[in-house]
Amino acid sequence: MKKSNSLLEKVKETIDKYQMFAIKARIVVGVSGGPDSTALLHLLLQLRDEYELKLWIAHLNHQLRGKEAEEEARWVKIFASKIGVPLISDSLDVATLAKREKLTLEEAARMARYDFFEHVSNQVSANRIAVGHTASDQVETVLMRLMKGTGLDGLSGIPPVRGRIIRPLIEIFHKEVEEYCEINNLKFCVDSSNNDTSFLRNRIRLDLLPLLSQEYNLQISKILLQMSKNLREDADFIRKKGEKEFGKVLRKERENKNQRWLVLDREKLFRLHPALQKRVLREGIRRIKGNLKEIGSDHLDSVLDLDGKRGTKQLSLPGNLVIQKQYEDFLIKRGESKNIPFARYLVIPGKTDLSQLSLTLETRLISVKPHSFLASSFMDLKEKVVLNEVSGFPKEEVFFDFDKLKPPLFLRNRKKGDRFCPLGMKGSKKIKDFFIDLKIPMEKRGKIPLLVNRGEVVWIVGHRIDERFKVDNNTTKILAIGVHKA
């Protein structure tokens, strides 16, 4: 029991060190059924009274391992019932999502999982989401990023806190977790895919780390963990310094006709240390692009190399980003595009941000008696039509019969062959033809989100809902969606 108490104290130190949560925190705990998430939940239960915590369990079946995944879902349900913690679970075909959105299985699973956790947190008004990443995961991540090529931020590893995501086990090695489970007689599920060496992470864990430990340094995992901590501190310092310098280098930032752009002062930029030059560029790119995905150090070097070239020069970067060197300035903007790729899980209830389009969708559920709610579900954002008299929502809304939907719902841009049944019409219509009828310019069509449910287009956001999902006299639960500029 001494080791068990020791681990609990280590976790408390991590929680306090990174200020993961305060007294009376409301925490959604992501539980897969494996040893790490099982131990995490058990540890938080030990701290529940001391911190006056309110806990929920969230479990998402990725539908990747058939009966094994179903058994894990059943096990989590039984465990939740046994310890008296409410469970919210769901199932999603991640393989189909990955294929449709052209993502790897790992990327699709991660996106689906965190979107689901955010959805659950909004549903129960939680302010923290606890996940079971350990120090072992941290070491594997650092090695993965090192082999793929990364900078200071990448070698800093997984952050202990990111937004409302917290990782209380991030300084605990997996072996310690297994010992904790054994001491406390905690049963857990074993994920067979963890032994699949077609995944790079598994090869690092099963092959590379044992080799480095046996042949080079027995303490390699602890060394890599400490290195990531040191680099995270350095990266945080440089990031804050870069943000401060960005404010000095920025000439102007504007948004015109759905086009965001900003201008940096070249002279001030090149007075900075090269490390800060890149930080300033990264911050400018992040503001225009919405993220730094696919932007590497080589891209930043290419931008800086423009300074040595005469005249006005232009460089294209991933994400339809354009950098122009114009005399005394660097202009950062998005290029003209017919299609801005995006795919997001719609949070119900709560907010979903489409940063690529500078849009936010806000959802809520309304229970009504049949015959008590009648509304046309057509909305034209330009006319700012308020569609009903239900109070309590400040923006325009559209309404759907929630019982006709089968969540999860996704937001994505249009694809070739998409069809829907426009409200008030019989039969289906190609979305391409719908856009032509409305005389929507071709360059704007790819920037209009579609709300999709099980492959069916439910709503062309800002224009028309599908006849099949409208509110009618038999409606008992309404999904209300408001949309506004972010």
Q: What is the 3-state secondary structure (H, E, C) of the chain?
A: CHHHHHHHHHHHHHHHHCCCCCCCCEEEEECCCCHHHHHHHHHHHHHHHHHCCEEEEEEEECCCCHHHHHHHHHHHHHHHHHHCCCEEEEECCHHHHHHHHCCCHHHHHHHHHHHHHHHHHHHHCCCEEECCCCHHHHHHHHHHHHHHCCCHHHHCCCCCEECCEECCCCCCCHHHHHHHHHHCCCCCCCCHHHHCCCCHHHHHHHHHHHHHHHHCCCCHHHHHHHHHHHHHHHHHHHHHHHHHHHHHHEEEEEEECCEEEEEEEHHHHHHCCHHHHHHHHHHHHHHHHCCCCCCCHHHHHHHHHHHHCCCCEEEEECCCEEEEEECCEEEEEECCCCECCCEEECCCCEEEEECCCCEEEEEEEEECCCCCCCCCCCCCCCCCCCCCCCCCCCCCEEEEEHHHCCCCEEEECCCCCCEECECCCCCCEEHHHHHHHCCCCHHHHECCCEEEECCEEEEECCCEEEHHHCCCCCCCEEEEEEEEEC
* pLDDT score of 11 more than 50: yes
Could you report the per-residue pLDDT of 307-359, keeping only the tens digit for each?
777 767 888 888 778 888 877 888 998 765 545 677 788 999 888 988 777 78
The per-residue pLDDT for 472 is 85
Question: What single-letter amino acid sits at 427?
Answer: G
Contacts for 351 with CB less than 8 Å, ≥ 6 apart = 122, 360, 361, 362, 363
The per-residue pLDDT for 462 is 85
Is 356 within 8 Å of 342 (Cβ atoms)?
yes
Which has more pLDDT, 98 or 216? 216
* pLDDT score of 374 more than 80: no
Could you report the per-residue pLDDT of 385-411, keeping only the tens digit for each?
333 333 333 446 888 999 999 888 989
When mean pLDDT is compared across 45-54, 384-393, 465-474, the lowest value belongs to 384-393
How does the average pLDDT of the chain come out, rounded? 86
Query: In which band, very low, low, confident or very high, does the pLDDT at 299 lie, cut at 50, 70 and 90?
Result: confident
The per-residue pLDDT for 76 is 94
Query: In which band, very low, low, confident or very high, does the pLDDT at 257 lie, cut at 50, 70 and 90?
Result: low
Contacts for 85 with CB less than 8 Å, ≥ 6 apart = 29, 41, 45, 55, 56, 57
- Integer Cα distance of 221 and 478 in angstroms: 52
Give the mean model confidence (pLDDT) for residues 265-277.
92
The per-residue pLDDT for 249 is 94
The per-residue pLDDT for 198 is 84
Provide the CATH topology of domain 250-334: 3.30.465
Give the mean model confidence (pLDDT) for residues 423-447.
81
Query: In which band, very low, low, confident or very high, does the pLDDT at 486 lie, cut at 50, 70 and 90?
Result: low
Query: In which band, very low, low, confident or very high, does the pLDDT at 414 lie, cut at 50, 70 and 90?
Result: confident
When mean pLDDT is compared across 8-12, 102-106, 144-148, 277-281, the lowest value belongs to 102-106
Which has more pLDDT, 356 or 456? 456
* pLDDT score of 181 more than 70: yes
The per-residue pLDDT for 4 is 63
The per-residue pLDDT for 395 is 47
**What percentage of the chain exceeds 70 in pLDDT?**
90
Give the mean model confidence (pLDDT) for residues 92-110.
85
The per-residue pLDDT for 386 is 32
Query: In which band, very low, low, confident or very high, does the pLDDT at 169 lie, cut at 50, 70 and 90?
Result: very high
Please indicate, yes or no, whether the overall pTM of this predicted structure exceeds 0.85. Answer: no
Tokens 């070239």 belong to which residue?
Answer: 309
Spell out the domain ranges in the chain.
2-216, 250-334, 343-485
Give the mean model confidence (pLDDT) for residues 431-444.
79
Give the mean model confidence (pLDDT) for residues 447-460.
90
Query: In which band, very low, low, confident or very high, does the pLDDT at 148 lie, cut at 50, 70 and 90?
Result: confident
Distances from the Cα of 343 to the Cα of 90, 112, 115, 255, 272, angstroms: 19, 10, 11, 23, 37
Query: In which band, very low, low, confident or very high, does the pLDDT at 191 lie, cut at 50, 70 and 90?
Result: confident
Domain 2-216: assigned CATH number: 3.40.50.620
Which has more pLDDT, 383 or 19? 19
Query: In which band, very low, low, confident or very high, does the pLDDT at 368 lie, cut at 50, 70 and 90?
Result: confident
Beta-strand relationship, 321-326 and 329-334: antiparallel
Give the mean model confidence (pLDDT) for residues 294-303.
85
* pLDDT score of 177 more than 50: yes
* 250-334 shares the fold of 2-216: no
